[in-house]
Structure 1
């Protein structure tokens, strides 16, 4: 898989060109620090009150003082409220980011304190950089998975075209020699040894073919996904004595890329069930329409603690399944519990690639 690295994330929100950045020019006067706003406001009110008292009758001095105090209190309360209002926005933005919404950004108020607004601008810049880093990580993940798939395909071809062909030729020669050596021939020992060698070569050939299929299944190159999944379940499960159930509801053509990802998820999920769950039955269900594809794999095995497995990360199976689905904008869901079996659900949008 080749291609240029993804472009950097969106311009930081602290940039003057950004529509959500703090305004400049005349509106910048509204963004002076809160302490300065309070001092200027109190001075202006007191000056106005003093000038009013000088021209007013002495009997109204008390009323003017009370009115001045009330106005000062109201203005100070309003200034403090509007200046610190971005703190609530910061809290709400932090909550959305913690919930996974990395597109959340801190909005700005015209009366916000300049220092508080600077904090919001910094947070927005950090979130922009985080999105850019996430895009780069996903790009590198796609490169790694693509390179691994290409290497698996090359190895599978070599196993099939070279090793398997050689073992097949040896098997044919041994079979011919076995047939030419009758049971009454004087070389009974040779016949016995050839029989043992033929069994070994036959087993090795079967293992090579199975390994070639697991490393890079060629079924998807010639069969639709539902048939390939049925072959996978039959080959993998029935050899171990596990009963398999297959159900498919395909109402639209499936994107080859999505089909490959879902097949890999099924391969990993079935393999995990056999390695860890010891199930008696594994069911595979595929639903495809023009908008999405949904794959559900359920086994009645021993199950496991999903949260503990996710945090421990003792294996790469769950991580690789999730990353494969992320590459096609899909999602992976896992439900399991000790003694309750395991259900793996993979959902991906069915978007046909343009030729």
Structure 2
């Protein structure tokens, strides 16, 4: 607030001498046109009652009061009103006392024998201005302290430098991100501390963190790759800015650097998982389509087996039964019917065998009746009979797997044997089933030609995909790999399912 001639001013006059009080009041009324806007009290006790109750622009204070003397008067008023300007008025000519009063909180010191309108107005104006400047300075200092605390506690690196690239400030965030303490960084060139590689100062792809802009106040947000002092790469989001001096020139440079390495890693990992999921869904769609086709093929095969195999056997049996019925009605001798009865009996045996074969192909009875170990041995025996490939079975389980696990392992086993018959050109197959405290392990190893080098990267290998999906559906895994000496091995591992 600025006050000048003809400007209302709220003044508290603390003066016990009526003559002096009247003179000062007259000067105030004439100088500020403020009649009735100043209050007069004669001692500190009365001032103590008025100050909290009203807002005053300035206190005019005598140093010789009934309840106070000298610098103690200033201290008393300052305690009552810490922010109100104080102008000391006294008849004592004492420079040392004047300095003590200023040190105690007074803004100015004016001798009564020098009281003139101009000197009083000047003293009051100086006191108010100094108080305002002091208050602004205190607010600025407090703001600077708060900003410094924010900068120091920031998780981001906040760094400043001179225009020639010498680091002038380095907060804890910068220490955490780059690995240099403030003592190590401040005073050194930016290029020595913040650089793209720990061992190459002049790297061709260097991105300068502190560019010297031409006619620009701040740069936009950029992502750069810099390095920790130990060589670890850092993905950083950087904002650079220019600090101007009073004339508008470039005084310093500043940058805020945020470490986004982890967020970039998470984004990359998320993208990888999304791509994996999309690829998996595509493989599952292909597998589902294949399973539908296989199901239709299996139905067609079973229909043909029933029609061509069982149908012919039952037709032949029916024809034999009718022949026997005609001969029996005609009174044929029993001995003449015996050969035909033997033929019919043989047809019944073939029909039973055919039914059993079809049932085994649909689901081996040994798997339900005798368990996985017996089903593997039986399937290996039938595979050996069909293909001529020698099979050696080593089955040593300590526990009996649950039905879901047994079925999955058996179907994977069948698929592996099918692959051996189609592609391996093997003479011998070794089959092993074992378990430990936590898992089941099934291995099928052949001595054939091994796997093509690009087998596992080919698309459309739905048989391998099917085995993998069966194993993973039970929390297990499947691998297929060539052996150094020739041949291949397929291994499926499934965790034991606990109740």
State the TM-score, normalizing by the size of structure 2. Answer: 0.42
Counterpart secondary structure, 2:272: helix
Partner of 1:128: 270
* Equivalent-residue separation in structure 1 for 2:305 and 2:469 (angstroms): 32
For residues 230-264 of structure 1, the C-alpha deviation after alignment (integer angstroms, 9 at most, x for no partner) is 12111222122222221111112323333222222
Of structures 1 and 2, the larger Rg is shown by: 2
The yes-or-no answer on 1:226 pairing with 2:351 is: no
What is the correspondence of 1:280-295 to structure 2 with a 5 Å cutoff?
280-295=427-442
Partner of 2:188: 73
For residues 102-123 of structure 1, the C-alpha deviation after alignment (integer angstroms, 9 at most, x for no partner) is xxxx9xxxxxx96662354133
Aligned match of 2:414 in 260, 264, 267?
267
Partner of 1:312: 458
Select the structure that is richer in helix.
1
In the alignment, structure 1 segments of 5+ residues that lack a partner are: 1-23, 46-67, 92-105, 107-112, 186-194
Aligned match of 2:316 in 171, 174, 185?
174
* Equivalent-residue separation in structure 1 for 2:280 and 2:256 (angstroms): 36
Closer, same or farther: CA 312–76 of 1 in aligned 2, 3 Å = closer
Give the paired residue count.
Answer: 269
Partner of 1:344: 490
Higher RCO structure, 1 or 2 (CA under 8 Å, sep 6+):
1
The yes-or-no answer on 1:328 pairing with 2:474 is: yes
Q: Which moved more, 1:237-246 or 1:219-228?
A: 219-228
State the superposition RMSD in angstroms.
5.0
* Equivalent-residue separation in structure 2 for 1:69 and 1:291 (angstroms): 54
Aligned match of 2:227 in 77, 84, 95?
84
What is the correspondence of 1:38-53 to structure 2 with a 5 Å cutoff?
38-39=161-162, 42=166, 44=168
Check conservation: 2:166, 2:189, Cα contact below 8 A.
Answer: no
Closer, same or farther: CA 295–69 of 1 in aligned 2, 3 Å = closer
State the TM-score, normalizing by the size of structure 1. Answer: 0.56
Counterpart secondary structure, 2:469: helix
* Equivalent-residue separation in structure 2 for 1:178 and 1:159 (angstroms): 28
Counterpart secondary structure, 1:301: coil
* Equivalent-residue separation in structure 2 for 1:220 and 1:171 (angstroms): 28
Closer, same or farther: CA 90–150 of 1 in aligned 2, 3 Å = farther
Deviation, structure 1 residue 303: 2.5
Closer, same or farther: CA 70–231 of 1 in aligned 2, 3 Å = closer
For residues 277-335 of structure 1, the C-alpha deviation after alignment (integer angstroms, 9 at most, x for no partner) is 23222221100233111111112223233x32123346322232223222223233334
Select the structure that is richer in strand.
2
Partner of 1:58: none
Counterpart secondary structure, 1:250: coil
Check conservation: 2:227, 2:233, Cα contact below 8 A.
Answer: no
Partner of 2:116: none
